[in-house]
Structure 1
Amino acid sequence: MKKSLLLVVAILFFLVVTIVLGFEEVYDVIGRMSIFQLFAMTALQLCTLFLTSFIWYYLLKQKSNQVSLSNVFGINLAGSFVESVTPSVKVGGEALKVYLMQKETSLKYTEITAITLVSKFISLFPFLIISFFTLCIAFISFDLPLFVLLAFFGLLLFFSLFFVIFNFEGSFLGRSFSKLEQTERPVLKKIKEKVNKTQVFLEETSIKSKTVVTDYRKRLLLFSIAFIVWAFYPVKVYLVARILGFQLSPVIVIIATFTAYLVSMVPLLPGGLATFEGTLALILAYEGLAPHEAFSIAIMTRVITFWIPLLVSVVPAIYYIGKTKDKTESERRWLRW
C-alpha cells in the first residue's frame, strides 16, 4: 500500500508541474515525437537492458549450464519491474531475481546472491567513475545544487558495502553476540540464531563472490559492456532533445544525465520518479531552455527509459512469479503424496 501511494504521489507531482508550466506548451513539445521515433528510442532502451542482462547471464554461465539468455533477460525484466515501483538504489528487484533464478537453476542461494552482487558491482562501478568525473567538470563549469554532491557521497557509501560483503568475516558478529549463548531468554536465543544464519550466509556469499570471475580478460569484457550501457544514457537524452527540436551541448547533456541518475538513486520515490525529472530539467535549463521545454525533454526521456519498459516488464513479472508459484505448489503436492 505504501509503495502504491508513493507511485501515486509521483504521478500527481507530474500532473501538477505540467499544469503549472502550461499543459498546452508541454503537450506541444512532446507531440513533436512521432510514434516511429518513440518505438525506435524504446528499442534502444531495451538494447541497453539486454546488455545489462547479458552481464548477469555471462556470470551465471561460469557456475551453471542450466541458464539461457532469454530466461535471464525475462527474469531481469521482472526484477526491473519491482525495482521501478519501489524506492531503491538500483537493488529493489535483486531479491526477486535471486529467488526466481534459484527456481530456474540448481544453484544455491549463496551462489546466486554472490553472482548477483558481482553483477551489480560491475554495473555500478563504471557509473561511479563517470559520475565522479562528471561532477568535477560540472563544479568547474557552474554551481550544482548541494543535494547532487550529497547523493554522490551517498552512492559512494552504498558502494562501499560491496567491499564489506566481498571481504566479509563474520567473527565480529560472533563475538558481539557470544554472551547470548548462555542466556535462557527465548527472544535472545532467536536473535542469536538469526545472527548465526546471517553470518554463515554472508561468509559463504563472500567466498563465492571471489570465485565468480577470476580471469582479468573476462572482467575487462564485462566492465566494458557496463561502460557502454551507461555511455548510451546521455546519448538517449541527446537524441530525445534533437527529436523534440533542441540542439543541446553534449557536455551539458552528459552532466544533466548523470547528475539526474545520481540523484534518482536516493531511495525517496519509486524508480527515482520526480527526483530524476526535476534534476534533469534543472540542469538542462542552464542551456537557456524554457522551463516547459526542459521539463518536456525530461518527461519524454522517462517515458522511453522508465514508463514503457515498466509496462513491458509487467508481462515477464507475472509469468515468472506465476510459474514459480505453480512449481512450488507442485513440489508441495509431491511431498504430501
Structure 2
Amino acid sequence: MKHKTLLLMLAGIGVLGLMVLFIGPEQIESAIQQSNPWYLALAVVIQLAIYGLWTERWSITTSALNIPIKRRHLLPMLLVGLAINNLTPSGRGGGEPVRAYILGKYTNSPTENAFATVIADRGLDTFPFITLAIITIITAVLYINLPQWMVITLIVCLIVLIIAFGLALYMSINREFGDRVIRWFLRILKRISSKMHSKVEQRAINAVEGFQDSMKVMITDRKVLLYGIPLSFLIWGLEIMRVYVVFIALNINAPLEIIAAVFVISTLIGMIPLLPGGLGAVDGMMILLYSYAGIPPSVSAAATLVERLISFWMTSILGVAVLPYFGADAVEKMSQKL
C-alpha cells in the first residue's frame, strides 16, 4: 500500500474519530450494547444477499458477450474490485479496471470485452441511483431541513452526474464521437509524454473500437436492460433496507424515507475522489444528516459505525482475503492502485 493511500485512510479515520469524541464514546457504546444481535445478523445476511445479486447482474453482461465464466468465479473478482474501490481515493472507480483485468486473464477474453462488461455493470447501477437522487433531493427539502447551500450542491452534483453518464454512454455507442474523444485525449498525452508513438495510438483506437462493439452488443441484448435494471433497483432497495435494519437493531424506528435520503446523499459524497471509499466523509455526512432529521447524535453515530462495519470493512476484508486466489499478477495490479 502506498504511503499516500495510507495517510488518506488515517485522515479519514481521524475525522471519524473526532466526531466520535465530540458526540461521546460512552453514549455511542451504550447504544451499541443495547442493540438486538438478531437484527444485526439480519443486516449481515442482507449484505451477503447483495453480493449475490451484484454477481448475478455482472453475469448478465458477461453472458451477453459469451464470456465463459461461472458465477462462483465472478463473486471473488467482484469482491476484489469492491475492496479496491473502498481502499483507494479514486471516486469508487479504481476497482473496475482490476476486476476487468482479472476477468480477461481468467477467461482468456479480450481486455476490451472484459472491461465493457464491467462498465455496463456500473452503468446499470446508475439508472436507479439517478432516480433515487431526484427523489432524495425532494425528500431532503421537505423532511431534513438541509441548508440551502447543501441542497444546491446536491442538485449541481446530480446534474454533473447525469451529464457525465450521458456523455460516457454516447461515447460507448457512437464510434465517430468516441474516436474524436480518444484522439483528443491522445493528443494531450503526446504533449505530456514523448514516449507516445503511432503504434500505441493505433492500439488505443482499436481498443476503444472493440470496447464500443462490445457495448453495442450488450445494449441491444434485451436481457441486459430488462433484467439488469430491475435487479439494480432491487439491490439499491436492499442496501437501504440494510441500514433500516441496523436502526431497528438499535431500537430506533427511523422513517424509511429519511434513511433512503441519507444513504443516497452519502453515496454521492463518497464518489468524490478525496478519501478511500469516502472514508470519514461518508461516515461524517451520515451522522450529520441523521442529526438534521432529528435522530439523536449518539444513535446516529452508533448506527453509522455498525452499518459501515458491515458494508465497508467486511467487504474490504473479504476482497483482500480472496485476492491471492488470482495469483501474483492480480496482487501486483492491486498494489499499483493503492
Do both share a fold (TM > 0.5)? Answer: yes
Alignment RMSD: 2.8
TM-score by length of 1: 0.86
Q: For 1:320, which of 326, 333, 338 is the aligned residue?
A: 326
The aligned residue for residue 83 of structure 1 is 85
The aligned residue for residue 306 of structure 1 is 312
Letter in 2 for 1:291: P
1:1-337 map, 5 Å? 1-64=3-66, 66-141=68-143, 142-144=145-147, 145=150, 146-163=152-169, 164-169=171-176, 170-172=178-180, 190-322=196-328
User: Would the aligned equivalents of 1:252 and 1:287 in 2 still touch at CA under 8 Å?
Assistant: yes
Q: How far apart are the structure 2 equivalents of 1:179 and 1:73?
A: 38
Q: How far apart are the structure 2 equivalents of 1:109 and 1:268?
A: 28
Q: How far apart are the structure 1 equivalents of 2:314 and 2:44?
A: 7
Higher-Rg member (1/2)? 1
Q: Which runs of 5+ in 1 are unaligned?
A: 327-337
Letter in 2 for 1:127: F
- SS of 1:212's partner is helix
- SS of 1:71's partner is helix
Q: How far apart are the structure 1 equivalents of 2:47 and 2:186?
A: 51
- The aligned length equals 322
Q: How far apart are the structure 2 equivalents of 1:173 and 1:241?
A: 46
- SS of 1:211's partner is helix
Q: Deviations over 1:270-314 (max 9, x none)?
A: 111122222222221133222222122211111111111211222
Q: Deviations over 1:128-156 (max 9, x none)?
A: 12112221332244335244334323433
- SS of 2:217's partner is coil
Q: How far apart are the structure 1 equivalents of 2:271 and 2:41?
A: 26
Q: Which runs of 5+ in 2 are unaligned?
A: 333-338
Deviation at 1:67, TM superposition (A): 0.3
Q: How far apart are the structure 2 equivalents of 1:6 and 1:166?
A: 37
Higher relative contact order (CA 8 A, sep 6+): 2
Q: How far apart are the structure 1 equivalents of 2:28 and 2:64?
A: 49
Q: How far apart are the structure 1 equivalents of 2:297 and 2:27?
A: 10
Structure 1 324/88 Cα, relative in aligned 2: closer, same or farther at 3 Å?
closer
Letter in 1 for 2:46: L
User: Would the aligned equivalents of 2:14 and 2:280 in 1 still touch at CA under 8 Å?
Assistant: no
TM-score by length of 2: 0.86
Q: How far apart are the structure 2 equivalents of 1:14 and 1:277?
A: 7
